[in-house]
A and B are shown apart, each in its own frame.
Chain A
Amino acid sequence: MPIEVANLTHTYMKGTTSEVTAISGISFRIDDGEFVGLIGATGSGKSTLIQHLNGLLKPTSGKVMVDGVDIWSKGVSLKEVRRKIGLVFQYPEQQVFEETVYDDIAFGPRNLGYSQTEVESQVKKACALVGLAPDLLSRSPFELSGGQARRVAIAGILAIQPKVLILDEPTAGLDPRGRTEILDNIKALHRNGMTVILVSHNMDDVARLCERVMVLDRGKLVADGPAREVFSRREFLESMRLKPPEVTILMEKLRKRGWAVRNDVLTVEEAYAEIVEELRRKGVAGAV
């Protein structure tokens, strides 16, 4: 179920004196099973863009096509589009309103008219996918920790069995352990075939998980390529108020000092391997 965006432009309050073009002329295609990171400074248009992908916003011009069909053409059910493309908003725990965790996760499937037994089975499956213990289901969502609340919100979307999962800053405000748990959940979902689009300010998270990275700057798609390629362009990213991961910057600085190491390293493990190899080549004693 590929998503194709063609020449997409969105202008808020079109035709008034306060009209603002949030995104313009954006085109790309995302295929099944991809893991895409979407990065960009605050106000670059990320939220506007993702709300087009499941039909929450209507393009001012251009097209959004899901499975080859323009989602705004006649006869297309937007409800069905929103079921297939699940969107988890920023700070979703602030939108929790049901009395129990169960009811909160069941909201989506109930809304879609699933039977009682189907709802129950979807809630259970969704909980298993994000590692929520079943005994939490009877609790009030307000008693949960930050990481648990975030997982409940993701489970609520998974319960409607989307094919594509879009997450807007899923780890913002979480402590390192909560962050790692959520990212591990997302990684596992992707491994099982889910297409994932991750919007994040955390470059380390994006570098660690995403195969492909898209960069938005003032409403334009200014880069779209393999994570390695995008993150090795430090000056370009900095001009966009972004930053490569620390270990990537480290490698670049070592290269400037004459080291024969790769400049497209994304994780601590990769940096370690590159440094050890260079030290061995140079015959540095003690470097195993």
Chain B
Amino acid sequence: MAEVEKTRGLEAKGVFFRYEVDESEKVLALAGVDLEIRQGEFVVVLGPNGSGKSTLAKHLNALLLPDEGDVWVFGMNTKDPGLTWEIRRSAGMVFQNPDNQLVATVVEEDVAFGPENLGIEPGDIRTLVAEALKSVGMEAFSRHSPHHLSGGQKQRVAIAGVLAMKPKCIILDEPTAMLDPSGREEVMKTIKRLNQELGITVIHITHFMDEALYADRVIVMDKGELVMSGTPKEVFSQWKEISQIGLEVPPVGQLSRRLWSSGANIDSGTLTVDELVDELCRLRSQT
């Protein structure tokens, strides 16, 4: 039994959730979600505004509890109040606005905030903080004030704050929405590295379709339901459904599809610049 528990990732079964607008009105935010995320998986969640992405994310670290159905985080049912803190420690969350997440006046104090709350020994905290900052490439800034950092650096500090709690999973709710192009890339590369090198499970919510290309698996939410799940290529190949939901195939994917549909003999599901360059050069040399 213990062995089985160890390998369980994050699971949602038949989850319904309603938000209370006022006393008389409730809105269905999750309408029967079934989802299984393996340990070590990098999952990107796409979906229009109001599709239930954030509500789902908050269920995965017990910030919200299902009205119906169950959520298990590494084998722990989120409805068990005795497990709430252990669940939040193992599945940490990073939010959109870095300025609302950083509380201390010095970077390392900010990162130490979580472990301090867990009552960890000061000596161990120092080690945890140093390791966490190193993992996000911010060790040189440990004595800096967070307020003078760029947006991407602030988000990396916020990620380090979660890492210092030694989580198995990080849930990021639109962490790149407010960043400039390099800040966005910094954050995406950082979480990809944490996933690949430390084996941390990543659940990344975004409106930027190109960020889906970092994922092992993309899931798409619409009106509270999970409507698609697959590799980036599989999901974006359903371009009609994608656009009906109000999402978009990334620009390079749109171009590949257009070229393919007008007769160019290339893979219509090509999504990245380098792959399309290779495809096109292969085609061009066939003369």
Contact = CB atoms under 8 A, between A and B. Distances in A.
Contacts of A178: 48-49, 246
B237 to A, nearest CB: 17
Interface in A274-288: 275-276, 278-279, 282-288
A254 B282 CA distance: 12
B277 A287 contact: no
Contacts of A55: none
B70 interface: no
Given A173-B177, A257-B281, A243 B182 contact: yes
A249 B96 CA distance: 28
A279 B283 contact: yes
A245 B177 CA distance: 17
B151 A176 contact: no
A28 B248 CA distance: 36
Interface string B194-214: 000000000000010110000
A176 B209 contact: yes
A250 B276 contact: yes
Contacts of B255: 247, 250, 268, 271-272, 275
B287 A282 contact: yes
Interface residues of A, number: 45
Contacts of B150: 41-43
Given A42-B151, A173-B207, A145 B50 contact: yes
Given A247-B251, A250-B277, A268-B254, A173 B283 contact: no
B247 interface: yes
Contact of A278 (B151, B246, B250, B284): B284
A172 to B, nearest CB: 6
Interface in B248-287: 248, 250-252, 254-255, 258-259, 262-265, 273-274, 276-277, 280-281, 283-284, 286-287
B179 interface: yes
A241 interface: yes
A224 to B, nearest CB: 19
Residue of B48, B50, B96 with most chain A CB atoms under a 10 A cut-off? B48
B53 to A, nearest CB: 10
B34 interface: no
B75 interface: no
A174 interface: yes
B178 interface: yes
Contact of B284 (A173, A175, A176, A279): A279
B82 interface: no
A252 B96 CA distance: 33
A172 B263 CA distance: 36
Nearest to B245: A177
B63 to A, nearest CB: 20
A246 interface: yes
Interface string B92-119: 0000100000000000000000000000
B81 interface: no
B41 interface: no
B260 to A, nearest CB: 10
Contacts of A285: 286-287
Contacts of B265: 286
19 contacts: A42-B183, A173-B174, A175-B47, A176-B248, A201-B179, A201-B184, A204-B251, A245-B251, A246-B251, A250-B277, A254-B281, A259-B284, A268-B255, A272-B258, A272-B259, A275-B255, A275-B259, A287-B259, A287-B262
Interface of B: 21, 47-50, 96, 150-152, 174, 177-185, 207, 209-210, 246-248, 250-252, 254-255, 258-259, 262-265, 273-274, 276-277, 280-281, 283-284, 286-287
Given A268-B255, A284-B264, 20 more contacts: A145-B49, A175-B207, A175-B247, A176-B209, A176-B246, A176-B248, A241-B183, A242-B182, A245-B251, A246-B252, A247-B252, A249-B273, A250-B273, A254-B281, A275-B255, A275-B264, A284-B284, A284-B286, A286-B264, A287-B262
